[in-house]
Amino acid sequence: MDVDDERTEGEDCPRCGGWQDWETCWNCGGEGGRDLYEESPIEYPPGAWRTCDNCKGEGGYLVCYACARGESTGAGRLDSSTGSE
């Protein structure tokens, strides 16, 4: 594990400088991974754990809703459905 285990909620968005919210990972439900033994005891030994790929075991991630919606002024063009004026 990395040394920097500090989870700073509400960190400024690196792209637009706006506020970021902590979003629980949809993939693991905030668990940070899956208990493989619980899912398939015949395949995995007790305690087998698979770290969630989506959140890298964090159980969630910081999301800037401005950038997520493409409303930020700058590089954030995630949703470019409106191209012309």
Single out the residue of 59, 74, 79 nearest to residue 9, CA to CA.
59
From 2-10, 19-27, 36-44, 77-85, span contacting Zn ion (CB under 5 A): 19-27
Q: What are phi and psi of 19, to 5 degrees?
A: -80, 140
Residue 67 binds Zn ion, judged by CB under 5 A: yes
Stretch of residues binding Zn ion (CB under 5 A), selected from 2-10, 34-42, 67-75, 77-85: 67-75
Is 42 or 75 the residue whose CB approaches Zn ion more closely? Answer: 75
Residue 62 near Zn ion by CB under 5 A: no
- The answer to the question of residue 25 lying near Zn ion (CB under 5 A) is yes
CB within 8 A of 72, min separation 6: which ones? Answer: 13, 15, 16, 18, 64, 66
